[in-house]
Structure 1
C-alpha cells in the first residue's frame, strides 16, 4: 500500500511540476540545449533520434511560460512533432509536410492571435504578420507584403493600390517603411498595383498604428518594418514560380553551419507576353490618359493611331548571414527595385504625338550586428544606405501642333545612417532600451515645364531645390510586463540640422488585464517629420497623372516641420477562438501645406494648415477548426483646415467615413479557399464653380473653394475570391497552383474625380476649350493564375 501511495505521490508531483511556469529566453539556440532546459525546468523526459534535431535552432522568449506553450512554439518553428506517452514522457518525430517558419525574437513577444495564426499582436501594441502562413487572401494568388496589411482595421487604400497604404488617416509618405533597416521611398510596382517587396524573402512584417516605439522616428503616421529571412539551412532551399504579371525565384545557400547567402529576383513578363491580367492592370494605370483620347474617338479605333507602350518592373535582393555563435549574428542585406514606363501615341490624321518616359529606382544596403553579452545585456549596431531616383520626360503636341507642351521631372534622395541600441534586462519584469540614431538625408528635385501655342512660347518655368538634413536622435524605452500589467514607455529627442530645431517625442503604451478574457489598452505618441512629399501639379495637369509627388525637405519658409499627436484606447476580448478588438483614436496633425495634400491645384502657392482625425476600429474574428472568418470595420472622420482654403475644417481627399470588409478562409486537405467582400464610403471631391477662358483664350477652371470636398463619389464595393492547391512532386519537391478573381461581379467603382480643359475644333475650324470631367475607375473583373515550386 505504501509503495502504491509513493508511486501516486511521485506521479502527482510530476504532473504538478510539468505545469510549472518558468521564464523562457532562447535566441538561435540549438534544439538540444532547448530540450535539456525543458527537461530540467518542467520535469519531463524527451526521447528522440539525434539526427532529428541536428543543426536545428530555436528562438523564443516568454515570461511565465507553460510546457504546452513551449512545445507549441517548437512545433510551429520546426518540423518536430511531440507525442505524449504520459504526464512525463514524450517521444519526438518528424512532420515531413511541415513548412518551416522563421521566428524573429524581440523584446515584445507574441501574446495572442489577432486575425489568424499568421497575424499576432505584440505586447507593445504592434502587429506581427508572417506572410508565409497567411494562405491565399481574397483576390490574391500569392502573399503580398503590403496588401496583407489591409486586413488590419485602420489600414486602407482609397486609391486601390498595394503601395497606397493609409494608416489611421495618414498618407503613404507619412509612413516609415523599412526593409531590413533600409528606408524605402518607392514601395510599388506597376505604379503601386503590386508591392515592391518579394514576399518569399520576407520573414515578418511589423505594423505599428499607434503607441510606436521610440526607436522609430522621422515619420508622423504608421511604421511598416519588413524583416527578411535569416535562417541558415542545412542544404540549399528555395522556390520559383510565375503568375500572369511576373516570374520570380529565391535561393538560400548554406556555406557552413554558420554562414549562408540568399538571393532573389522578380521580373515582369509583359515584354514576353501580355496576359489578360496585365491588360487589366495596364488599363487601370492608363485610365486617365486613355479617357482623354476616347473624347477624340481615338482609343475606340474610330480614328487610326499608332501606339507603343511598355510597363516593366524588377527587383532583386541578396542577404549574407554569419552566426559565429548562438549569441552573435551579422547580416548584410541588399535590395534594388526598378520600374520603367514608355508610352508613345501618334495620330496621323491630327498629327498629334504623345510621348512619356518614366524611370524609378530604389537601391539600398544595410548591415546589422547583434551581440548578447550576458543574460542581461544585448548590443545591436545597424547601418544603412538608401538611394531613390525618379526621372520623367513628357512631350505632347495637340491638333497639328497648335499646342506644344514639354515637361520633365527629376527627384533624387540619398539617405544614410546608423543606430546603436543597448537592451538591458533588470529582472523578469523590467527591461531598458537605450539608443542613438543618426541619419543624413539629401533631397533634390528639378521641374521643367513649357508650352507654346502656334509656335509662340507662352509659358516656361524651372523650379528646383536641393537640401540636406542631418538628424541626431537619442531615445530610451522602459518595458514592464507581469501577469496584469504591460507597460512600454519611451521618449525620443531629435535635432534637425536644416531647420536648426530640437523636438521631443514622448511615447506610451500600456495594457491592463481586467479579466482573464478582457484587456484594456491605451497609448499616446508625438512624432515629427522633416522629409515630405508635395503634389507636383504641372505634369499631372497634362492628363498623365502618375507618380506626381516629389520628395523635398522642410524649411523655415513655406514648408514647415510636420507634427502629429495621437491618443488611443480600446478593449481586447479573447475566448474560445473568438477575438474582438475595438479601439478608438484621435490624431492632430500640424505643419501641413495645401500642396502636400493636393488641394490647391490651380496655383503653385503654398498654404499652411492642420488636420484632425477621429476614428474607431473594430475587428471580430472566429476560428472553427479549418474555417476562419473575420469582420473589419472602421469609422473615420478626417478633416483638414488651411488658411487660404476657406479656413474651416473640410473632408480630406482620402476621408473614408465607413469601411467594412468580411473575409472568410477555409482549408480542406490540400485545398485553401478565401472569399472577401468590401463596402465603403465613396471618396470626396470638389465640384466646379465656373469654367471660362481669359482674354487670350486660355482656359481656367474655378473650383468651388467654398465647398471643398463637399461631394461624394458613389459608394465603393467589390467581391474577391482565391483558391490554391498544394501537392508534392516528390519528398523534396513541392508544388502549388492557385487562382484568384478580383471584383467578381465587375463593379464599376470610381475612386477619383477631377476636371480638365481639352482643346477641340468647332465647326468654323477654330480652337475652343471644353470642360471635361475625368473619372478614374477601379479594376474591373481581374483573374490571375499562379504556379510555384519549392524545394
Structure 2
C-alpha cells in the first residue's frame, strides 16, 4: 500500500514537471529582436536596411507591425537609440545614436546577473521597451519628467525616475519577488543577523550573523536559544523547550522537509551544517497555515537558494569536527551545493571532546559500570563518531521555473566495550542513530501576481541499540524507525497592492516501528503503525498602504484518515504600528500533531538517547492539540528596543510516557494536559559597534492528569524565571561577546522521609512525596566568545573563533532522580543520582573561505 502511494505521488510530480515544459514554451508575441523587426519591415515594404550587426544583434523591443514604412521608422526612432536615414526609396541606413537617449542596466539584486527582456513602461505615456541581453535599456530624453515601472517575473515591480538615468547605463538592482520575502520589522534584534518579522516570527541570517556568547560557529539550534521564551533545561540542542513545551513539540524543517533528528553528539551539536543553511524562521505563535505539527514552535531552515557566478566554498576545523562546503556552477542556470562534517576524535580526543563526553554519558549505561557491585575489575571505553553530508542541485530552468533537489544524511555511531581484567572477557554494546532527508521541488511564477510550488519528500529516522550484559549472556535489542513521505502544494496570489491570498494542500504518510527483543528471558515486542493525513489550507495577508498594519489570517483543515477525524485550525498574526516607534502585536493559533516521543525506561538505548518516536492511536496515545494566544508591545527608537509580550498556552492530549517522569508516575500511562502562561521581556541598546541586551521570561506551567493523585502539579519544565544579560562589541575585524545566563531550578520529586521503600515480597519501589514539590538550585553560566576576520588575499579570507562555555566552571545541577541500591549485605537503600552541567569548555575554530 505504501509503495503504491509513493508511486502515485511520484507520477503526479512527473506530470507537473511535464506540464511546466509546455508553459515554458509560451512567449509574449510582442517581444522582438531588432534584427527580426528589420527583416519583417524589409519584407513588408520592399526596402533594405544597412547596419552593423554587432550594434543591433542583442537589442530587443516591444513591437507590433505598423501600417506604413514611415510609421514603422517613426516608432523605432522613438523607442530605441538608432537613427534611420533614407538614402533612396529602397535603401535605409541604421546608425546607433545615444545622444538623445538615457540608459540603465537592470540586474537581479540577489544574484547580480542581468535581467534580459525585463519590461520597462512609462506611467504617463504608452512608451514601453525591453532590456537587452546584458540588461541594458534606453529611454528617450523627451521622457525626462516621467516615471518608469520595471517588471520581471519573480522580482518586485520597481519604479525609477527617468531623471535618475544617465548616458553611462548605471546598474539598477531589482529585489526578488516581495511575496517570497518576510517583511522585517526590526532589522537587528540583539545582534546582527537576528531580526523580528511583521508576522511575529524571528529570522536568522547566518551569512551576515554577528556573535553570541559561547558561540564558536553559527550553530542554528544554539542560536535559537538566544530568543526570549526558548531554552534548554539540560543544555542540549536536542531538548529545546519553547514556552514550557517538550522537544518533540517543535517542528524542525530543513528546506521544508521534516527532520526527526536534530543533533549530533546526542544533543550537544546541531545536526544542520551552518555553512549552507542561510535563513531560519522561528515561529512561537501565529504560525503560517502551511505548517502542520509543532504545537510549541516551528523552526524552518533554508539553504542558500540563489544562483551566483563562479566557484566559492570553504573548509574549517574546530576541536570537535572538521567541515567543508562548496558551491559549484554547472552552467549559467544550474549549480550544485555540497557540504560535510565529521568528528575526528578517533585521531585525537580534545579537551572539549572529553568534557562533552562526561556531560552526555552521565547517568547512562556507559558511565554506570561500577566494579564494586560485582567485585570484579572492569575496564570500559567508548568509541564515538558522527558525520553529516548534504547535496543540493539548483536549476533555474528559465525566468519562471525553478527546480531543486535536496539531500541530507546524518549519522551517529557509538560502540561501548567492557572488559573483565582478570579474565579478559569482554563484550561490545552498540548504538546507531541516523537520518536521511530527500526532496524534489518545483516553483513556477505563472505571472507577476501568481506563483506555485510543489514539493515531494521522504524523511527517515533510524535508532538502534544492542546492549550486551558483561556478567550474563543477556542481550537487549531495541529499534525505533520512522519513514515519512509527503507532497506539498502551495500557491500565492497577489490580489492587489494590499491583499495577498495563499493556499494549498498537503498529504503525509508516516510509518513508525518500535521493536524490543530480549534473549533471556525470551521477550519480543514489535509494533508498527501507519497514519495518513490530508490537509488543506487557505489564508489572506493584508498590508496597509502606509505599512503600519500587517494582518495574516487563515485556517488549516487536518483530516486523519485512520480515525476519520477532522481538526480545524485557525491562525492569526497582527502587527499594528502605533505612534513614536511603538507597535502592537497580537497572535493566536490552534495546532495539532500526531507524532510524539515516549520514554519507557531510563536505560533504553543505553540511556543515551532514550526517547523513541510513536504515533497517535487515539486510544493510549491521543492526537495532541494546542490553543495559544499572545499580546505584546514593541518599541524601537534611537537604537533602543523594548519588547514585552504575554502569552497563554493550553495543550491537551499529552501522554505521561513522553514527559520524562522519574517519580511515582514513571511507569503509569495516562493522558492529560498542561497550561502554560507567562510573559517575556527584552530591552536592547544598539549602536554601530556594540549591542547590549537584557532578556527575562516568567513561566507558570502546570500539569493536569485526572487519573493521578494529585491531579494538578507543576510541569517538569516549569522553570519560573529565566534571564540573560549579554553584549557584543566590534573592533574593525574583531568581534567580542560575553553574557550571563540564569534560570531558576526546575522541579523534582523527593522520596518520603520515612518508610520510603515499599516491598511486595518480590519487587521494591520508592514511595515519593508530593510530585514536583522541590526545586533544583538556580542555574548560572558565564560565556565568552571572540571572532577575527582576516583577509589573507583578494580571494581568500580566514575566520578565527574562540569560545568558552561556562567560564567560571560552575557545576550546575540539571537533574536529580532516585534509585534503590543494594549493598553486599543485601540491605536496600535509596541513592540520589545527580546530573550536572558542562564544565569549563573552551573551543577554537579556524575556517578558510574562498
Alignment match, 1:779: 838
Distance 1:333 1:693, change over 3 A: same
| Alpha-carbon spacing, 1:36–1:538, altered in 2? closer, same or farther (3 Å) | closer
Check conservation: 2:663, 2:771, Cα contact below 8 A: no
SS at match of 1:272: coil
Q: Deviation string for 1:616-659 (max 9, x for gaps)?
A: 11121121221111222111111111123224321111111100
Indicate the residue corresponding to 2:764 in structure 1: 699
Instruction: Tell me the distance in 2 between the aligned counterparts of 1:746 and 1:357.
Output: 32
User: In the alignment, which residue of structure 2 is the partner of 1:410?
Assistant: 479
Note the alpha carbon deviations across 1:11-45, whole angstroms, 9 max, x for none.
xxxxxxxxxxxxx9988676655999999899xxx
Q: Give the direction of change, closer, same or farther, for the CA distance of 1:87–1:619 in structure 2 (3 Å limit).
A: farther
Counterpart residue number, 1:725: 788
Asked whether the 8 Å contact 1:219–1:527 carries over to 2, the reply is yes
Does 2:632 correspond to 1:570? yes
**8 Å contact kept, 1:30–1:58:** no
Aligned to 1:176: 251
1:81 paired residue number:
none
Normalised by the size of structure 1, how large is the TM-score? 0.84
The alpha carbon displacement at 1:581 in A equals 1.1
Q: Hey, what does 2:688 align to over in structure 1?
A: 625
1:145-185 CA-partner distances (Å, limit 9, x unpaired)? 10010111011101100221111112111111110121100
Tell me what 1:420 maps to: 489
Structure 1 residues 645 and 25: alpha-carbon distance in aligned structure 2, compared to 1, 3 A threshold: farther
Match of 1:454 in 2: none
Q: What is the aligned partner in structure 2 of residue 358 from structure 1? A: 431
| Distance apart, 1:447 and its partner CA | 2.2
Match of 1:734 in 2: 797
Alpha-carbon distance change, 58 to 622 in structure 1, aligned in 2, over 3 angstroms = farther
Q: Match for residue 282 of structure 2?
A: 207
In structure 2, the CA distance between the partners of 1:135 and 1:39, relative to structure 1 (3 Å rule), is farther
Q: How many residues align?
A: 713
Q: Call closer, same or farther: CA 1:51–1:372 in 2, change over 3 Å.
A: closer
Name the stretch that deviates more: 160-169 or 591-600: 591-600
> What's the secondary structure of 1:284's corresponding residue?
helix
Match of 1:514 among 578, 599, 604: 578
Change (3 A) 1:717 1:409: same
CA pair 240-232 structure 1, distance change in 2 beyond 3 A: same
Identify which of 308, 327, 349 aligns with 2:400: 327
Q: Any residues of structure 2 matched to 1:161-560 within 5 Å, and which?
A: 161-289=236-364, 293=368, 304-348=377-421, 355-397=428-470, 406-449=475-518, 461-482=523-544, 483=546, 484-537=548-601, 539-540=603-604, 544-560=606-622
Query: Contact between 2:109 and 2:176, CA under 8 Å: does it hold in 1?
Result: no
| Structure 1 residues 515 and 780: CA distance shift in structure 2, 3 A | same
Structure 2 Cα separation of the partners of residues 729 and 601 of structure 1: 58
Pairing of 1:45-84 with structure 2 (within 5 A)? none
**Aligned counterpart, 2:148:** none
Q: Is 1:151 the counterpart of 2:213 in the alignment? A: no
Is contact 2:385–2:412 with CA below 8 Å preserved after alignment?
yes
Q: Is the 8 A contact 2:699 2:718 kept in 1?
A: yes
Q: What is aligned with 1:77?
A: none
User: Contact 2:192/2:210 (CA < 8 Å) preserved in 1?
Assistant: no
The structure whose Rg is larger is: 2
Say whether residues 1:588 and 2:653 are aligned partners. Answer: no
**Compared CA separation, residues 692 and 92, structure 1 to 2 (3 A):** farther
Per-residue displacement from partner, 1:38-79 (whole Å, max 9, x unpaired)?
A: 99899xxxxxxx9999xxx9999889x999xx9xxxxxxxxx
Structure 1 portions without partners, runs of 5+:
1-23, 43-49, 71-85, 95-100, 452-456
Correspondence 1:747 to 2:810: yes
**Counterpart Cα distance in 2 of 1:405 and 1:659:** 45
Contact 2:819–2:833, Cα closer than 8 Å, also in 1: yes
1-structure distance, mates of 2:376, 2:615: 46
Contact kept, 8 Å, 1:205 with 1:225, in 2: the verdict is: yes
Secondary structure in 1 matching 2:658: helix
Distance 1:112 1:240 in 2: 32
Quote the RMSD (CA, aligned, Å): 3.4
Q: Distance in 2 between matches of 1:153 and 1:316?
A: 31
Structure 1 residues 363, 669: CA separation in 2 closer, same or farther (over 3 Å shift)? same
Distance 1:505 1:569, change over 3 A: same
Q: Deviations over 1:505-528 (max 9, x none)?
A: 011111212114111111110011
SS for the counterpart of 2:224 is helix
Structure 1 equivalent of residue 4 of structure 2: none
Question: CA 1:198/1:439 → structure 2, altered by over 3 Å: closer, same or farther?
Answer: same
Range 497-506 or range 469-478, more displaced: 497-506
Output the CA distance in 2 between the equivalents of 1:39 and 1:505: 44
State whether residues 639 and 651 of structure 1, in contact with CA within 8 Å, keep that contact through their aligned partners in structure 2: yes
Question: Unmatched 5+ residue regions in structure 2?
Answer: 1-105, 125-132, 137-150
TM-superposed CA distance for 1:545, in Å, is 2.2
CA distance, structure 2, for counterparts of residue 601 and residue 358 of structure 1: 27
Counterpart of 1:173 in 2: which secondary structure? helix
Instruction: Name the SS of the counterpart of 2:740 in structure 1.
Output: strand
1:74 match? none
Summarize the Cα distance change of 1:740–1:51 in structure 2 as closer, same or farther, 3 Å threshold.
Answer: farther
CA gap 1:313/1:104 in 2 versus in 1, 3 angstroms: farther
The residue number in structure 2 matching 1:664 is: 727
Do the aligned residues in 1 keep the contact of 2:182 with 2:198 (CA within 8 Å)?
yes
Shift of 1:615: 1.6
Query: 2:156·2:176 contact (CA, 8 Å) conserved in 1?
Result: no
The offset of 1:222, in angstroms, is 0.3
C-alpha deviation, 1:296, in angstroms: 5.1
- Contact kept, 8 Å, 2:662 with 2:817, in 1: the verdict is no
Q: Which has the higher strand share?
A: 1
Residues 563-604 of structure 1 show CA distances to partners (whole Å, capped at 9, x for unaligned) of: 100000101111012111111100001111111212266664
Q: Distance in 1 between matches of 2:701 and 2:778?
A: 17
CA deviations on 1:439-494 (whole Å, 9 max, x unpaired) are 1001110123577xxxxx5xx64333211111000001100011332110000001
Report the Cα distance in structure 1 between the residues aligned to 2:120 and 2:730, rounded to whole angstroms: 33
8 A contact 1:534–1:595 mirrored in 2: yes
Query: Contact 2:116–2:135 at 8 Å: present in 1 too?
Result: no
Q: Which residue of 2 aligns with 1:9?
A: none
Q: CA deviation at 1:306?
A: 2.3
Q: 1:676 and 1:726 mapped to 2: Cα distance?
A: 22
Assess, with a 3 A threshold, how the Cα gap between structure 1 residues 592 and 39 changes in structure 2: closer, same or farther: same
Residue 106 of structure 1 deviates from its aligned partner by: 2.2
Q: Distance in 1 between matches of 2:824 and 2:152?
A: 73
Q: Does 1:644 align with 2:707?
A: yes
In structure 2, what is the Cα distance between the partners aligned to 1:590 and 1:722? 41
